[in-house]
Structure 1
Amino acid sequence: MRVRFLCSRVLVTILPTAAVLLLWATPARAHADVEGTTPASGAVVQNAPDAVVLTFSEAVRAVPDKIRVTGPDGQRADLGRPAATDRQLRIPLRSGGGKGTYLVSYRVVSADDHPITGGFTYSLIEPSATPPTASDADAPPTPPSIAFGVAVARYVGYGGLVLLAGPMLVLCTLWPRRLPVGGRTGPATLARAGVWASALAAVAELALQFPYTLGADRSMLSAESLRAVIGSPFGVAHLVRLGVVVGAALVLRRIIAGRVGRPGIAVVVTLAVLGITGLATWPVAGHPIAGPIPALTVVADVAHLGAMAVWLGGLTVVLVSLSRRASPRELAVILPVWSDWAMLAVTVLVLAGVAQALVQVGTLDGLTGTAYGRLVLAKAGLLAVVLGVAQCSRMLVAGFTDRPDADPADAQDRTDTPRIARLQRTVLAEVAITAVVLAATAALVQTTPARTAQAGPPSRDAFNVTVTTNLFQLGIDIAPARTGVNTVHLYATDAGGRPIPVAEWSGTAALPDRGIEPIAVPLLALTSDHASGQLTFPVAGDWQLRFTVRIDETNRATATTTIQVR
């Protein structure tokens, strides 16, 4: 009963905060930027190009049938299959294209396995009077529910790793010989939960990767698209992880069944190889592999996850099993050893985390001025609290060494019950707060690294404003707010800042002081709540902008603002 009470308190503490952190990180934003295009965005060329080339800040993979070029006549102008080579995406074009405006829309997957959608226009000879528009199939949005599901699956996977690492470590090194391994609250139960959680999370992440990268477009489900996901680094990493989980389950089953006895060197080495291999599947399918120093960030992430799993997993076994079933004399022997190991794990955890932060954040502005940096700060703050609680646990553990008189076989000797109860409370606090740190880690996976967020698009000058209407709030970003070609981004949200699905976007720009009548702004829906387009300001002045957003068949509103163009 007490164990169920402790577990319920852990869940009550963890779940609300974990949900907040996971929601903070969804939907995921693109983790790579377009550094340049040929032809240039908004350019007017005199000779028809044979291909459109996009250069990204990271290596990308093309999403099948989600990359196209629409000509002035509304027909597809691309030919054959686009080719993604390292950081470049090349889209071959048909010959003999007519004059007018061409719309390029794309969906690719970045090196850290996040989808990137976008679009731009260029014109041959002269711009079209009515530029082509994109259909929903060109750049389908990733539903927030899918992005949230990815974060939840990642969190469950971390939990499975913890529940596997803790029992494996304790069973191989610290579990008292007189105690049975199994039992309703024993390490066997935790290990089985870890196996199932790890396996189900890996399968869920694989299943969600298809709608995550293709925008939940079921019509695109095909053998080719499935092969693209399974054959990607993400898919291979998760298949390897499933194999590791199966291997660990077989080894643990033999230990739990007593067919191995105290594990020998061969079993320990096998578990170590499986553990390192399984840990490596996380960084090779995430931010670390796409970092500027992948060798450092991958190794640091493996060390970070391993130390976290050992620490939190061992604490969980201590909380729900050892502190209740071992005698005070056994605890006097086991807990000091575990305390030293925990301190080593914490040291590795901190050093590896600092190394990753230095690479992924880089600057003080990145730490304080980006969502990724603020999550790192929140994670560091929580870790500092955990370390304070852990120090209290170490002080309580030291007290057990003062009990030389207890019978090591007497599990009923509870003269140290008050101290054990205090230890259970401090360990419970460590487990609860560290589990919230895991939620922050899962949220970081869904958040653009600070180095990428700060790099942003090549142009840094911009006009930013949020206009409120009776139906929505419209965020308007225009860069570089100078004469010539400008990039427009529109974001539709409700009063609370939550994205609103938009059925249709339209806009105009006018300069009445110079006699310039409204000019149509071609807009491309990148996601359900985000549109982008190109706008050319021929002269400087105070331009009047009007953007009409249709939410459904009966609800639409217009947001107006004025931009000073230099």
Structure 2
Amino acid sequence: MVVVLMVASFSRQWTAQLVHEPLAEALPEASPAPARVAQAVGVGASSTSVGTAGGGDSAVEPPAPPGAAENTPSPGASPQGSDGYRRSLRRSVAAEAVLGVVVLAITTLLTGTQPSRAAVETAAATAEAQAPTARMVMVPFDTGIPNGNGKVQITFAPGRVGDNTVEAVVYGADGGLMSIPELRLTLTHRAQQLGPLDAKLVDRQGYFAADRLRIPLSGAWTMNVTVRLTDVDQVTVAKDVTIRPTPA
């Protein structure tokens, strides 16, 4: 818009020049008025020296100064600058029109474009909505006895800072559900030297669960999973799990 206004100021100047040009042409140049000159008429005077035979004063125009005819403007003549002013005015008006179209196009584009901050917030909200609502970790174990190996599937919901529910399911070597007498789970945040936090899992007849486990910090937590198959056969396995921060 600043550029458009600058071009418009030039157009205004060219228009003013064209308006002033006809005014200059309309002003006539001053021409010398004829003067009456008295001449004596006597006897023997030549008849060609007097304007009339009756004698008396006669009006005689003085000769025009040299170059007067050249200085007199001819009718209908136009200054050479008028055409230049018109060409400049046409160019400036055309530039105004082009710049106006560009400004309208940019304005239309910006009107339909979402602000950057809102776009970032929308993208974050979309990613948050698409993020999983639970964190699941598979922990393999091997107690060293026949049929003493398998996997523990541990699920944190929602897997964020704050209160979480924990569910653990034990799978045997054949991939089927496995019943064990005890399963313990603790979490330690090594970077902050926090823990261990005991999940206090409870046997729910087929799986182990904790209704409330408060996790105070986000980041990598080390899980220590203790699987006990018999009174003397058990193993503790460590596995990291990432806890996400609470959304703002």
What interval of TM-score do these two structures reach, taking the shorter chain for normalisation?
A: 0.3 to 0.5
Q: Higher Cα Rg: structure 1 or 2?
A: 2
Higher strand share: 2
Higher helix share: 1
TM-score by length of 1: 0.18
